[in-house]
Structure 1
Amino acid sequence: MYQAQNARNAYVENAVATASPARLLVMLCDRLVLDVQRGLDAQRAGQVQESHNQLIHAQEILVHLRGTLDVEAWDGGPGLASLYDWLHAQLVQANLKKDPAITEGCLSLVTDLADTWRAAALQAAATS
């Protein structure tokens, strides 16, 4: 068991260490989607602690995304910052209220966000 976990951890660490900034962003967004989906699934199953853990991790990812966003870099920067802030606040409410409807709304948005960043990364790679 420990060997498999150690191998997985080594693989993930290597993937992160060697990823381009665009790939790191996509990886974070994919994990954000996974966390919100797991949080929603746990809410629906009545697994309060698991839901809490997943939604807290999703909030941490949003804080990181917001903190590393250079809002001056492009015209859409302030709008994206507002979206990150709003999603964070919604996930806090979903967690506090144990409300799957709020979490489901967030899931839809973070899925679209991840898809958009993935498409942008692919387009940037194609033009490089």
Structure 2
Amino acid sequence: MYAGNAYQTYKSNSINYASKEQLLLMLVDGAVKFAKVARQAMLDNDIKKAHENIIKTQNIFNELMISLDVSKSGKWGQSLMSVYDFIVRRLVDANMKKDVKIMDEVIPLIEDVRDTWEGAYKASKIQK
């Protein structure tokens, strides 16, 4: 019981005291995790679990889209918005069809988004 409470406290503190950049990385890490769980659930014919985890992944990308200020980020932001939008549309397709092949297509894109943000975060830490 104590270990569970300690972990929850640690997890809560890590979120409460994380920088914006760290929170972004946590979100995209979560998107990778949820997408992979959804893919495995499809293979296991666990439709409910697949649906729930695809929705979690979609929600993360919807939030990323809402928070992306394209007017300030120029072409780079527009390109990123297009990637986010494509991922969300493919997740919708995968969820409607319960198609593992679509998840196989979209998971590497989600991982690329995570890797891009992770690289940007590391580069920003070096510059400081």
Compute the TM-score of the two structures, normalised by the length of structure 2. Answer: 0.92
Question: How many Å separate the matches in 2 of 1:45 and 1:97?
Answer: 15
Matched, 1:27 2:22: no
**2:106 is equivalent to residue 106 of structure 1:** yes
Structure 1: segments with no counterpart, 5+ residues: none
Q: Which runs of 4+ in 1 moved over 6 A?
A: none
| Equivalent residue, structure 2, for 1:56 | 55
TM-score with structure 1 length normalisation?
0.92
Number of residue-to-residue matches in the alignment: 127
The answer as to 2:71 corresponding to 1:72 is: yes
State percent identity of aligned pairs: 33
Q: Give the superposition deviation at 1:73.
A: 2.1
Give a deviation string over 1:1-33, Cα, whole Å, max 9, x none: 5x5444333222211111111111111111000
Q: Could you give the per-residue CA deviations for residues 64-103 of structure 1, whole angstroms, max 9, x where no partner exists?
A: 1111111122231111111111111110110110000111
Instruction: Give the unaligned 5+ runs of structure 2.
Output: none
In structure 1, distance between residues paired with 2:27 and 2:10: 16
Matched, 1:93 2:93: yes
Q: What's the C-alpha RMSD, in Å, of the aligned pairs? A: 1.3
Residue identity matched to 1:16 = I
